[in-house]
Amino acid sequence: MNTTSTDFKIQEALDALGVKNVNLGTSTGVNSFANGPTIDSFSPVDGQKIGSVICTSKDDYEAVMTSATTAFAEWRTMPAPQRGEIVRQFGNKLRVLKEPLGKLVSYEMGKSLQEGFGEVQEMIDICDFAVGLSRQLNGQTIPSERPSHVMREQWHPIGVVGIISAFNFPVAVWAWNTALAWICGDVCVWKGSEKAPLCSIACQNIIAEILKENNLPEGISCIINGDYSVGEMMTSDTRVPLVSATGSTRMGRIVGATVAQRFGKSLLELGGNNAIIITPTADLKVVVPGAIFGAVGTCGQRCTSTRRLIIHESVYDKVKDAIVDAYGQLTIGNPLDEKNHIGPLIDHDSVNTYLAAIEKAKTEGGKVLVEGGVLEGHGYESGCYVKPAIIEAENHFEIVQHETFAPILYLMKYSGVVENAINKQNEVNQGLSSAIMTNDLKEAEKFLSYAGSDCGIANVNIGTSGAEIGGAFGGEKETGGGRESGSDAWKVYMRRQTNTINYSDELPLAQGIKFDL
């Protein structure tokens, strides 16, 4: 197969992950249920074809759903701590395969190698979290107003969980969902991104091996491959009570409406337009790395990427100069070379979107501080490497109000009190992640108060990206309102049931109602 400039042999990683065929199938087992057309996977690192994946046809999908629903009947009866044991084994297998899987993520998606390894570490972390949680799926006992009665609350598995994930985190977001869904007693059907299909094949191979070793049905974990039409099979299917979808706001509107029409549940993780507020007391040693990693990490292709810096006018020039100077130290190139900070965008469509956004910002009156553009020449043959851009802009610019999945950072001023900056931050339709850089306790608390940031994530003296597993992840407004990962996010994967038990010899009614015969 192809070798990059860092002597990375993709076939070695694929072999380690059990992905041995060029034409890879879809679905529950390894390379089964494969009758549709193919998707070719090209690496944005060097433009080379990695392999092809066969898409899921309607007949394939029906076979997947039969396998999943059959498996659910068995899986849900297994005690939750025993399900946790399977997740523990999966996490341990990921520890063994962290290097090849991380390299595949980096090569197929284009993020830096450290970020590829970090994504697999997220998978391991959520497995550890889920294992402990498998002994804590607690309901509660509720006092009853009736004598000799007790009320309690139970949580039960919901069934088949459909997962639609995006290219930018081709393995971690699936794991966030599956690890929790599995310990809750659910089975999963996953449509990974058609832009990184080999990552989903690799993950399926890993869990399929664990299930086989434990004599469990392979339908506990299923994959389907293809474009939006394959996802539509799942979103319109009444056998899938929950669809967890990560992607654009446009996609989320379609998925949410389709699932709601059949009274299903959706967990939506959609776009972000994240800002960092920089106050007069902010420490530049924290501001610069936090802002720059947020803006250029994953080449600006995170939903939590920093899009806007809202800087107090008294420190604006100092912060601007420091950020611009630091951009001059960034290295762009093969993400498998750990000396490089930034890899490529995912594909040429993304490059065109990036270029159009820069031009749009200019026409609206933006002033370019760090010029963008496409890199050419040796090492940039894929045509997907771009330069991170910095543009002075106003918050009301149309382009600033929209999320561009690329390394474009908008700088703007605020004056007066911190509330003015908070209002500016909140004046976008997205509400995922936010941050404030300050050493003023009052400013920090105002930012975190009910009248502060309207985002699902609000950080103090760290950037907007890099969430930990332990906290619930998600956002408000056009970000969709979903929550994944930590805290009590597990509850969305289960159905709640209230029980009332009468252990008396009488039948008193609630609210003191009398019904005598």
Which residues are catalytic, by number? 269, 303
- CB-CB contact of 295 with 273 (8 Å): no
Rounded to 5 degrees, φ, ψ at 42 are -110, 135
Strands 367-370 and 389-392, sheet pairing: antiparallel
Which residues partner with 275 through β-bridges? 308, 434
**Token duo for residue 499:** 């029980």
- CB-CB contact of 323 with 309 (8 Å): yes
- CB-CB contact of 277 with 437 (8 Å): yes
Amino acid 167 reads F
Using CA atoms, how far apart are residues 231 and 371, in angstroms rounded to an integer?
38
Q: Identify the helix (H) or strand (E) that includes residue 430.
A: strand 430-431
Rounded to 5 degrees, φ, ψ at 401 are -75, -10
Using CA atoms, how far apart are residues 184 and 411, in angstroms rounded to an integer?
44
* CA 474 centroid distance within chain: 9
Query: Hey, how many other C-beta atoms are within 10 angstroms of the C-beta on 321?
Result: 11
Q: Which residue has the tokens 């947020």?
A: 294
- CB-CB contact of 272 with 479 (8 Å): yes
Rounded to 5 degrees, φ, ψ at 468 are -90, 160
Using CA atoms, how far apart are residues 428 and 402, in angstroms rounded to an integer?
8
- Give all strands (DSSP E) within 279-399, no chain letters: 306-312, 367-370, 389-392
Using CA atoms, how far apart are residues 313 and 278, in angstroms rounded to an integer?
10
- CB-CB contact of 50 with 108 (8 Å): yes
Using CA atoms, how far apart are residues 461 and 15, in angstroms rounded to an integer?
42
Nearest to 86 by CA among 185, 214, 220: 214
